[in-house]
Structure 1
Amino acid sequence: MNHLEGKIVVITGASSGIGAATATALSAHGATIVAAARNQDRLDALVGEIHKAGGTAASRVTDVTDIDDVRALAEFAVGTYGTIDVLVNNAGLMLFSSWKDLAFEDWGRMIDTNIRGYLNSIHAVLPIMLEQKSGHILNMASVAGHQIGESAGVYSATKFFVRAITESMRKELGVHHGIRASTISPGVIDTGWADKVGDPAGREAAKELNNLAITSEAVADATVYALNQPANTTVNDLVISPTRQDW
């Protein structure tokens, strides 16, 4: 049975990688997509592809680190489609560096996006879900939120945070309000993130990891599985990683 038909799904970080693949996959299952990211051209291309395939989608340029911008995204979704059934909290940064590099700017960027950005999005959609007494918040986590690798201390910390708040939401919002909370924890995915690493040594390490990476579509399929469950079933944390990844 398809439980996604007609659901209104807001996806952050939707312009590329996991977000774009997830938008496409959910649309193919009958969901209506509200795609959010900072790149208008990529959002337009994504919405165009969804429409071409017979789906329904709209987009809004959004910076998840700006609470007013995220509130406006939620208002846009409700104004366009009437409600929000699902939030896929996906916008994120993974920047590698050693502690000795003192990569303070990279630390701040990850904290702003991976922590504050997730909280901003939850804050914006939760009142809607509480009022309708239903909803599903899926936070994109990482295997780095299960164990810590070299040069990934701050990134791992942000993903441990994501897992912690999701489990808290599951116990509070799920048990008492019927609002489900899930995480997907991907392993190494080739989404072009390696090119965003500012530290040269970290960038090389990231490119090495990409040699064994799986695709964004594989993570999108896992996301569809987690979201396409009956209301009495919650996928708490689904880990998906390359077969040859040894951590």
Structure 2
Amino acid sequence: MTDNGIAQAGRAVVVGGGSGMGQAIADALLGAGYEVIIVGRSEQRLADAVRELGDGKLTAIAADITDEEQVSRLFETVGTVDHVISTAADLAGSYGPITEFDFSHASGFLQTKLIGNMLLAKHARLAPTGSLTFISGIAAYRPAAGGAMVASINAALEGLARALAVELAPIRVNAVSPGWVLTGIWDNMPWEDKEQRLAAMAEKLPARRLGRPEDVATVVLSLLRSEFVTGTVLHVDGGHRLV
């Protein structure tokens, strides 16, 4: 602890750190002096992230957090860390009308975003003053038609954060809820007028712009430094919940 009450940098694991918000979080942590371990399923994506972020205090480990044996092995390898941040989410098949919903296709989202994060909580070797941070999402508050699975799992993840804040104390457990953030997810949308749609989305928000991965990273970093915040959801949504 420094004289001004801000915790010194330590070691952090970022699950999903190979792209998008996870990579931005890893970059912010490296800039703040943390030793960072990025984790993901794709070795190629992790290698690309290492090249982009630099290899200073950065390590990459390929692991699937839906596999308990791999999660256990991950923390046997990295040992005790100060913080674990998880952005993991497999959205494939997670949207669709409930009357036609194929739950077998959507199991990846349930497994990565809820069960996988529970496995992280089970096996993470966290310092007593450490923290666990989940990334939930605006769908828990502003669900869209056809998004029942996404809304439900995000809400469940925030409930998990509150429950674990009690169970794992004094380890702090929180969630960060992003709104519409400009990541690679929008590249997969079958829109011919993508730029116009994104601009219209931005205009709906009080912030009058869409989020950037760096916006989420800034809030995550503040949570790691705030030793009196636990069991909380911090919203990084440009005011989306208000409109």
Please report the TM-score for the alignment, with normalisation by the length of structure 2.
Answer: 0.83
Query: Deviations along 1:10-37, whole A, 9 cap, x unmatched?
Result: 1111110000000000110111101001
Cα distance in 2 for residues equivalent to 1:209 and 1:166? 33
2:223 touches 2:229 (CA, 8 Å); kept in 1?
A: no
CA RMSD of aligned residues (A): 2.4
CA contact (8 A) 1:188 1:210 kept: no
1:134/1:4 CA distance change after superposition, 3 Å? closer
Which residues of structure 2 form unaligned runs of 5+? 203-209
2:135 to 134, 137, 140: 140
Q: Which residue of 1 aligns with 2:34?
A: 31
TM-aligned CA deviation for residue 137 of structure 1:
0.4
Q: Which runs of 4+ in 1 moved over 6 A?
A: none
Tell me: CA distance 1:3–1:34, structure 2 relative to 1, closer, same or farther (3 Å). farther
Distance in 1, Cα, partners of 2:73 & 2:198: 36
> Does structure 2 conserve the Cα–Cα contact (< 8 Å) formed by 1:4 and 1:29?
no
* 1:232 pairs with 2:235: no
**1:114-167 deviation digits (Å, cap 9, x = unpaired):** 111111111110xx23xx433200011112223422211001111111010111
Matched, 1:181 2:181: no
Distance 1:151 1:170 in 2: 31
Structure 1, gaps ≥5 residues long: 198-202
Give, as a single letter, the amino acid of the residue that structure 2 aligns with 1:62.
A
Which runs of structure 2 are paired with 1:85-234 in the superposition (5 Å)? 85-94=82-91, 95-125=94-124, 128-129=125-126, 132-174=127-169, 178-194=170-186, 210-211=198-199, 212=202, 213-229=210-226, 231-234=227-230
Structure 2 residue 47 is matched with structure 1 residue 44:
yes
Give me the whole-angstrom Cα distance separating, in 2, the residues matched to 1:4 and 1:235.
19
What's 1:200 paired with?
A: none
Q: Identity of paired residues, percent? A: 21
- How far does residue 190 in structure 1 lie from its aligned partner after superposition? 2.3
The superposition leaves residues 27-63 of structure 1 with CA deviations (integer Å, 9 ceiling, x where unpaired) of: 10111101001121221232234336xx411010111
Total equivalences in the alignment:
226
Q: Deviations over 1:78-125 (max 9, x none)?
A: 1xxxx2111102111344222233232332121111111111111110
Looking at structure 1, the residues matched to 159 and 70 of structure 2 have their Cα atoms a distance apart, in angstroms, of 25
Q: Distance in 1 between matches of 2:197 and 2:236?
A: 15
TM-fit CA distance, 1:72: 1.4
Q: Which has the higher helix share?
A: 1
C-alpha contact 1:2 1:29 (8 A) present in aligned 2: no
Alpha-carbon contact 1:188-1:209 (below 8 Å) kept? no
Q: Distance in 2 between matches of 1:114 and 1:108?
A: 10
**Helix, strand or coil at the partner of 2:18:** coil
Q: Judge conservation of contact 1:189–1:216 (CA < 8 Å) in 2.
A: yes
Choose which of 4, 11, 14 in structure 2 pairs with 1:11. 14
